[in-house]
Structure 1
Amino acid sequence: MRKNPERRATLLDAAIEVLAREGARGLTFRAVDQEAGVPVGTSSNYFDSRDDLFTQVGHRFYQRLEPGADLLAAAQEGPRDRARVAELMHDVVDRVSDFRSGFLAQIELRLEATRRPELRRLLTERVRADLDANIDFHVRSGFPGGGTSVTLLHLALNWLILERLTLPDVIPRERARALVDAAVERVVPDPDDPV
């Protein structure tokens, strides 16, 4: 198996595009090679099987969305209140939505995970780790709310992103922005409100 990390990343990025556009059935080694503009047979030298390709695409999606140190530092700036949480949630929605093909590929991966145990294991571990990291960041940073608030926002905003990327006319962009604000207002407690 070949080890050139740049070529592997190029192939995985091409696989994300194919998966988003063609679905799981369209994700073949030949389609990946064509999308990446490499000779036929290249991707089969990098991945042991289609199962391996699906699993590696799952890794690559999360690698590309992983927030960098600059983004994490910027999230720490400003007050630790509900309004700041809303700003951060808008940033998350925008960042994930900007990687449209990645999000759509991830939905295809989730469907495929119902049939591929290794992929299900990877996605379960990765989503759980991301959710735990988000909860830990939220609590350590001193934002209002806790694990339940973060989990509810995770669930609501993921579905909102799915709706916007697949059926954008159902909820127009401005309405989506207002819904993010409403979700934060309803889910994140205001520390100044009397209990």
Structure 2
Amino acid sequence: MARNEERRRAIADAGLAVLAASGARGLTHRAVDRTAEVPAGTTTNYFRSRSALWKGLVERIYERLAPSESFIAERAGREPTRELFAEYLRNIVQRLMDNREVTIALIELRLEGMRRPEVGEIIVEWRRTGFAGDVAFNEQAGLPGTAREIALFHFAVDGLLLDQLTGPLLPDEPVDDIVRTLADRLLPD
């Protein structure tokens, strides 16, 4: 069967929707077929096993949450300041909040990774690769902060997202202000 990448992405998106709505136990090839509104068995044609489906969903999360080329281009060549770093961080949080379903699916995958070693391996590899990319980007751009500060931001953003998705502790506090405060407090002078 010839691969149709557009259909593969649509099926992966349906898988993310199922995962976000029903959790890992609800994620089956049949459930994805129904959500994608494709004939029974179609998901299996693109993702032959449950493990392949997990991996495909992680890859799709990466695609959907990647920063836009225009966002990166607009900031290229600017002086590397704490404020510029905060702009990048705010963009990350905004992309995660704008893609709520994808973010919930990612949290579900991380939780499932604790229960299933095969999912855990996929998630850990993906997160560590992404983290290494974040550190490399930060260094190449000359932005403030070391790998340790980048890790601290990951920890903080994970908590911030969970807070925002499940009922914010400070509902009247704009997320941008929280992110700016994080940048101010976590980055060295």
Normalised by the size of structure 2, how large is the TM-score? 0.90
What percentage of aligned pairs have identical amino acids?
39
Match of 2:33 in 1: 33
Return the offset for 1:4.
Answer: 2.1
Q: What secondary structure, in the 3-state scheme, does the structure 2 residue paired with 1:67 have?
A: coil
Match of 1:21 in 2: 21
Does residue 118 (structure 1) correspond to residue 118 (structure 2)? The answer is yes
Match of 1:83 in 2: 83
Which shifted more, 151-160 or 43-52? 43-52
Distance 1:68 1:98 in 2: 13
The alpha-carbon distance between structure 1 residues 96 and 141, as it changes in their structure 2 partners (threshold 3 A), is same
Return the offset for 1:174.
Answer: 2.7
Which shifted more, 172-181 or 30-39? 172-181
The alpha-carbon distance between structure 1 residues 18 and 116, as it changes in their structure 2 partners (threshold 3 A), is same
Match of 1:180 in 2: 179
Distance 1:150 1:44 in 2: 38
Match of 2:59 in 1: 59
Match of 1:145 in 2: 145
- Structure 2 gaps of 5+ residues are none
Q: What amino acid is the match of 2:102?
A: G
After TM superposition, the runs of 4+ consecutive aligned structure 1 residues lying more than 6 A away are: none
Asked if the contact 1:13–1:60 (Cα under 8 Å) also holds between the matched residues in 2, the reply is yes
Return the offset for 1:16.
Answer: 0.3
Distance 2:170 2:50 in 1: 36
Asked if the contact 1:2–1:45 (Cα under 8 Å) also holds between the matched residues in 2, the reply is no
Q: What amino acid is the match of 1:150?
A: I
Asked if the contact 1:2–1:46 (Cα under 8 Å) also holds between the matched residues in 2, the reply is no
Q: What amino acid is the match of 1:179?
A: I
Return the offset for 1:76.
Answer: 2.5
Distance 1:144 1:129 in 2: 20
Return the offset for 1:86.
Answer: 1.6
Q: What amino acid is the match of 2:163?
A: E
Match of 1:154 in 2: 154
Match of 2:43 in 1: 43
Return the offset for 1:121.
Answer: 1.7
Distance 1:101 1:77 in 2: 33
